[in-house]
Amino acid sequence: MLIALTRAVAPSINRCELTHVSRAPIDVALAVRQHEQYEAALREAGCSIAHAAPEPDLPDSVFIEDTAVVCDEVAVVTRPGAASRRPETAAVAAALRAFRRVETIDAPGTLDGGDVLVAGRTVYVGVGARSNVEGARQLEERLSPYGYEVRPVQVNGCLHLKSAATLVSPAAVLVNPAWVDALVFASLDPVVVDPGEPFAANALLLGDRILYSPAYPRTRALLERRGLRVVPVDLSELAKAEGALTCCSLVFKRGTGRPSSTASSPTWAGASLSRAP
């Protein structure tokens, strides 16, 4: 069974960090409704939703992906590159302790989960504005005992590695080659986004389907021509905060890895869980 850890849209989201998009007013009520539809799509895909404690005063806290990297064996809580986002991690760590042993990235390392693409035992880390080489090194140190190999990759012109590349099957990567060199994903089959849709490389792969923004119809058609099942999920309000589909959840298997001793029988102290229907 899969768990999807999510976090509510903060009413302060209009004060979010922005790097590559211009500020436009975000309709918070609509963002909340779209986030609910996103959670519904996660449930539909077989996930149970767990909620990290909301942080109304942390504008970017809905983008929970950036706060941790969750593997079967261990969760690594990050140290986000934007200082304003570092207070987001404490409650996420508390939530994850119900499911995994939790390790951390420490100063001077910085790492955003949006820069981490896990493909089997290979972990690609985008090094750029938010994640630094030290963050990638620490991630390697935390994950290599479990057989993972970390490969730092250069990202240019976008916020995170997963703005530029995400998996659309265990063997295929959807990629915008203007932002990351597709050749770095050596063993993965590249699917190149439509050139008129540069933001189209972010897809959330969940078993037999990918959750995908309806804003990129030409790339969607490419994916469907390859036989991939695409489920449209509209997060247009959160896109104004530079967030995309993968950013709003941490999806991981339940029941693998060993929770930390303080939570060896899960108490759900830090997370509230709602089951798939």
Point out the residues that are catalytic: 160, 247
Q: Which is nearer to ligand CIR, 17 or 234 (CB)?
A: 17
Strands 189-192 and 172-175: parallel
Q: Which is nearer to ligand CIR, 16 or 47 (CB)?
A: 16
Using rule CB under 6 A, residue 16 touches ligand CIR = yes
Are 105 and 138 in contact, with CB atoms under 8 Å apart?
A: yes
Q: Which is nearer to ligand CIR, 65 or 103 (CB)?
A: 65
Q: Which is nearer to ligand CIR, 23 or 229 (CB)?
A: 23
Q: Which is nearer to ligand CIR, 12 or 104 (CB)?
A: 12
Residue 126 sits at φ, ψ, to 5 deg, of -75, 125
**Number of C-alpha atoms within 13 angstroms, CB side, residue 70?**
27
Closest CA to 126 of 108, 169, 188, 135: 135
Closest CA to 75 of 246, 207, 258, 249: 258
> Which single residue brings its beta carbon nearest to ligand CIR?
114
Closest CA to 91 of 66, 60, 67: 67
Q: Which amino acid is at 165?
A: A
Shortest reach from residue 115's CB to ligand CIR, in Å: 8
Binding mask 179-218 for ligand CIR (x = CB under 6 A): ----------------------------------------
Binding mask 81-100 for ligand CIR (x = CB under 6 A): -x--x---------------
Q: Which of 17, 194, 197, 234 binds ligand CIR (CB under 6 A)?
A: 17
Q: Which of 4, 9, 114, 135 binds ligand CIR (CB under 6 A)?
A: 114
Q: Which of 39, 55, 60, 88 binds ligand CIR (CB under 6 A)?
A: 60
Strands 271-274 and 149-154: unpaired
Binding part of the chain for ligand CIR, among 34-42, 103-111, 146-154, 155-163 by CB under 6 A, reads: 155-163
Beta-bridge mates of residue 123: 118, 150
Binding mask 225-264 for ligand CIR (x = CB under 6 A): ----------------xxxx--x-----------------
DSSP string covering 20-88 = SS------HHHHHHHHHHHHHHHHHTTEEEEEEPP-TT-TTTT-GGGGEEE-SS-EEE---SSGGGGGG
Q: Which stretches of the chain bind ligand CIR, using CB under 6 A?
A: 16-17, 19, 60, 63, 65-66, 82, 85, 114, 159-160, 162-163, 241-244, 247
